Structure 1
Amino acid sequence: MRVRRVVTTRAGGASRPPYDSFNLGDHVGDEEGNVFANRERLASELGLAQERLAWMEQVHGRTATVVDGTETRAAEATDALVTDKPGVALVVLVADCVPLLLADPEAGVVAAVHAGRVGARIGVVPAAVAAMRSLGAEPARIEALLGPAICGACYEVPADMAADVEKHVPGSACKTRQGTPGLDLRAGLWQQLAGLGVGRIGVDPRCTAEDKTLFSYRRDGTTGRIAGITWLEAA
């Protein structure tokens, strides 16, 4: 089955500064009408009906929710969406956290995961893979894309925080460009995915803090959200 993956940028939307302009987050202070217009455009550009986009109320947790496209509102208090229904596009919103898109094309199962520091630390990625397996996916067949996120050179954290995340997600701790303690979540998540048996792992190298075409909470404070989207293309 054909898997589609899309990562948005901040260009081409209706939102005004500091959310300019293709902000897809409805929880960041942007005008509701502008967010709605941006989400309508997203669905149109993807060639999907707006109701076929599945959203989630991201809370930096480890809950993975299976959806089937009949939902009428965002999945509550969850940080991973999983489906085996063609044409249901799973959306993860980020502005420095890692948007992780997973797919087992043979089983016809996809997932979108919000993997920030807290969620990664407490196991949202293993939870998402487990939910995929419940629908017939096999880790060796899973393809993973670690999308744009803040890089280790920019993500400075206290030393004890870096050590704590490293304990739970080995490979995450690093040094920033200034030589201070930092986190490279994509590096740690790459190792975690490999340890789970995921067969193919790709990384979008863009840093949200460095790339002005992307939203970054660390860089800008009040800002919008880009999206990572994945779905199974209906035959």
Structure 2
Amino acid sequence: MDTPLWWHDDAAGGVRVAFTSVRAGNLGTHVGDPARALENRRSLEEHLGLEVGSVHYLQQIHSSRVLDASSAQLPGPEQPAPEADAWISPRGVQPLAVMGADCPPILLAGATSSGVVTGAAHTGRPGLLGGVLENTVSAMRSRARELSEPGAITAWIGPGACGQCYEIPEEMVDQIAAERPAIRSRTRWGTAALDLKAEAAQVLSEAGIEVVDTAGCTMEDESLFSHRRSSQQGAAPGRIAGIIWTP
């Protein structure tokens, strides 16, 4: 079946999670043709059965900043998005999206006695090392406690550059891995690398989060957008998205 989704699943509490493929087109208005990206977003919403303009995106800045979508000033589809790299929906009402193209988008959902709390985080290297996941989990649990009794949280790690592809200088790996050993990796050709997905899984597991890794590598799977691959091959840039919502 021709679908814009690379992976999707139904979770407890009526939550739905999905990661797009290149069939959805580029969803990032900051790369390529912004007007076409907006049209791709509208087409995706129609495919998901969501109201056009209801899925909100962030202006991702490789930070550890987390917004609360229930209180943030959410713009219209053609207005500037708020600057942050993660956000939460305390009752799961707002459909949340984060983009990626080597940096894994991560979706989260937690049960509460009165429903669900959802979250979405962009885990680029600076944000991941700066605590964007820890901040997202903390925000979800804090808001859940305000509303009801919080329960277990599940996180879905979306496609990103795998640890056997994400090459960076040895000195940088040594410096980062001194405090975060799970992030150290080697490429298939033997050079130093980072495994952002392994580090994300480690952070989430230590926080008591159930982790589902969708396992996709953006640099190897041509059905996904990759910033590094497009730069190396001179291909058109693009962004996939992770989306979490309740129908």
Question: Normalization by structure 2: what TM-score?
Answer: 0.84
Conservation of the 8 A alpha-carbon contact between 1:54 and 1:74: no
Q: Does 1:90 align with 2:96?
A: yes
Question: How far is 1:225 from its partner?
Answer: 0.3
SS in 1 for 2:22: coil
Q: Does 1:54 align with 2:67?
A: no
SS in 2 for 1:182: strand
Match of 1:114 in 2: 122
Question: How far is 1:224 from its partner?
Answer: 0.4
Deviations along 1:49-97, one digit per CA (max 9) or x if unpaired, are: 1232121010000000001286225542200010024442111111000
Read off the aligned partner of 1:218 and give its amino acid letter.
R
Conservation of the 8 A alpha-carbon contact between 1:48 and 1:87: no
SS in 1 for 2:39: helix
RMSD in angstroms over aligned alpha carbons?
1.9
Label 1:37 to 1:136 Cα distance change in 2 as closer, same or farther (>3 A): same
Query: Hey, what's the Cα distance between the residues in 2 that align with 1:70 and 1:85?
Result: 17
Conservation of the 8 A alpha-carbon contact between 1:169 and 1:189: no
| Structure 2 residue ranges without an equivalent (≥5) | 1-12
Q: Does 1:101 align with 2:107?
A: yes
The 10-residue stretch of structure 1 (80-89 or 184-193) with the greater mean CA deviation from structure 2: 80-89
Conservation of the 8 A alpha-carbon contact between 2:92 and 2:118: no
Query: Hey, what's the Cα distance between the residues in 2 that align with 1:231 and 1:164?
Result: 38
Question: How far is 1:163 from its partner?
Answer: 2.1
SS in 1 for 2:243: strand
| Structure 1 residue ranges without an equivalent (≥5) | 13-21
Match of 1:79 in 2: 85
Match of 1:172 in 2: 183
Conservation of the 8 A alpha-carbon contact between 1:117 and 1:165: no
Q: Does 1:159 align with 2:170?
A: yes
Q: How does 1:1-235 map to 2 (within 5 A)?
A: 1-12=13-24, 22-28=25-31, 30-68=32-70, 71-72=74-75, 73=79, 75-106=81-112, 107-136=115-144, 141-198=152-209, 200-221=210-231, 223-233=237-247
The 10-residue stretch of structure 1 (149-158 or 84-93) with the greater mean CA deviation from structure 2: 84-93
Aligned residues: percent identity? 37
Query: Hey, what's the Cα distance between the residues in 1 that align with 2:34 and 2:185?
Result: 39
Conservation of the 8 A alpha-carbon contact between 1:96 and 1:148: yes
Query: Hey, what's the Cα distance between the residues in 2 that align with 1:35 and 1:75?
Result: 14
How many residues were matched structurally?
222
Query: Hey, what's the Cα distance between the residues in 2 that align with 1:75 and 1:31?
Result: 17
Read off the aligned partner of 2:244 and give its amino acid letter.
T
Query: Hey, what's the Cα distance between the residues in 2 that align with 1:192 and 1:105?
Result: 20
Query: Hey, what's the Cα distance between the residues in 2 that align with 1:86 and 1:101?
Result: 12
The 10-residue stretch of structure 1 (100-109 or 208-217) with the greater mean CA deviation from structure 2: 100-109
Match of 1:15 in 2: none
Question: How far is 1:160 from its partner?
Answer: 1.9
Question: How far is 1:162 from its partner?
Answer: 1.3
Conservation of the 8 A alpha-carbon contact between 1:108 and 1:232: no
SS in 2 for 1:136: helix
Query: Hey, what's the Cα distance between the residues in 2 that align with 1:193 and 1:139?
Result: 16
Query: Hey, what's the Cα distance between the residues in 1 that align with 2:194 and 2:180?
Result: 10
Query: Hey, what's the Cα distance between the residues in 1 that align with 2:130 and 2:221?
Result: 28
Query: Hey, what's the Cα distance between the residues in 2 that align with 1:165 and 1:140?
Result: 32
